[in-house]
Amino acid sequence: MTDYSHLISEQLYIDGWVDGTSEREATTVNPFNDEPIATIRQASQADVDKAYDVAKQNQPAWAELPPKDRAAVMSKAADFIEENFDAIVALIQAESGSTIAKASIETGLAIGSLRESAQFPTRITGSIHPSNTPGKTNFVFREPLGVVGVISPWNFPFALSMRSVAPALACGNSVVLKPASDTPLVGGLLLGTIFEAAGLPEGVLGIVVGAGSEIGDHFVENEVPSLISFTGSTPVGQGVGVKAVGGRRMKKVALELGGNAPLVVLDDADLDQAVGAATLGKFLHQGQICMAVNRIIVQAEVYDEFVEKFTERVRGLTFGDQLDHSTIVGPLINDQQVESVTAKIDQARAEGARELLSGPIEGRVIAPHLFADVTPDMELFREEIFGPVVGIVKADNEEHALELANDTEFGLSSAVYTRDLARGVRFARRIEAGMTHVNDITVNDEAHVMFGGEKNSGLGRFNGQWAIDAFTTEHWVGVAPGNAQFPF
């Protein structure tokens, strides 16, 4: 396996590399075999305060740099990743339980975020507006927010940290990042190594690794950041939103939360294509993706054929050690996730779903499990699974399929399969989601196209121009000639 030791730091990144001051120490491990990777002294609340204070002090100078200088840092960071691609992939595999395919995709997504963000410094524009006051001109400037706090998840830790950190920096902000406790290296400290090598001035990016119970609330409630960008579960994200808006200083929030993605197979779909999309969209990274296929909704006319084809396709998936290049389904991230997914399997059986395929549960590896004849009252239909388990639902007709697709509190990603593209677009536009793909999988992310959800799947949009809008604010500056006659 490719050596990644040169990418690992066991220190926090606050105005350079420093030891944490918490009494806690945590070891990050390979989730398949618990092999230790690094031991990190955790951050205390005082470390969080220091990181924010340092970021605030260094932000103005960073924002005042010529756009080409900030763009150059983004480009050099992308170059560093490309030069160390195999080592980064190996580290993602080891720490997050990712197969080589998933880790490679994730690394490519991070590069894409940086390449797109490198354009932002010269794409930030303002506007000029006429005034009803004679001789006055109204300028609207787009300015950095100041300091941005980022909380990233464990499932796509490298890509999803970079998706917020890179555009926020490119727009002239400084950033403090808190990665998930299960993936402090690839979701956090690795970015310090990358941006340090890219020439980012010290203090512009801070990275604090710590338990949510010790620093989580404090990270959000600190008065320095102007925006908190959070990616994770809906319940936690709702709490983050309340704390960010309800504190002494109201903050903006960008929340990318849970999903319950439907993949709808209409009666004229290419079933082989739909089966392939359902397999990849469900079992990539063991289903631990907010956009993963969570419900497969199939029109009655092709239901039995789809069920047969899908079961045979999934039956051939390999599972086990993620470091084995032949493995498709690796381990879940931790024991809590294993317990959650196992409970959903047991509940599906208890509720009467027809079990099509099952397999062993060994350690943190759960073999693919398929259930048919799932109904809207079942937990498998209503809840985000976040594991290699999926239910298939029969729809009476197209309208019933749409009703089933929208019967959820979530609205992140979705997909529909049909040979009639016009029909697909009509159907897609009626799905209550931020993203819908016709004849493609639900798992999609392109750095220049908006990403985000509706309903309880979040607030705001990431990527491209939408990221510029999210990580900047507008400032009206009215300029009058100074010769007004005021009435009093």
Residue positions annotated with a catalytic role: 256
Sheet with 413-417, strands from edge to edge, namely: 354-357, 369-372, 389-395, 293-299, 261-265, 413-417, 435-438
User: Which residue, chain included where needed, has tokens 């970079």?
Assistant: 162
CA angle (256 as vertex; 250, 259 as ends), nearest 5: 140
Strand boundaries in 333-400, DSSP class E? 354-357, 361-362, 365-366, 369-372, 389-395
Name the residue among 384, 417, 186, 459 with its Cα closest to residue 310: 417
**Contact between residue 176 and residue 150 where contact means Cβ atoms under 8 Å apart:** yes
Q: Provide the CA 319 distance to its chain's centre, in angstroms.
A: 24
The token pair that represents 465 in the structure block: 């121009």
Identify each DSSP E strand in 145-203 by its residue range.
147-151, 174-178
3-class DSSP state of 196:
helix
| Six-digit token string for 22 | 């918490």
Tokens of 251: 């903050």
How far is the C-alpha of 152 from the C-alpha of 175, rounded, in Å? 13
| 152 within 8 A of 164, measured Cβ to Cβ | yes
Reading the block at residue 372, the tokens are 């048919």
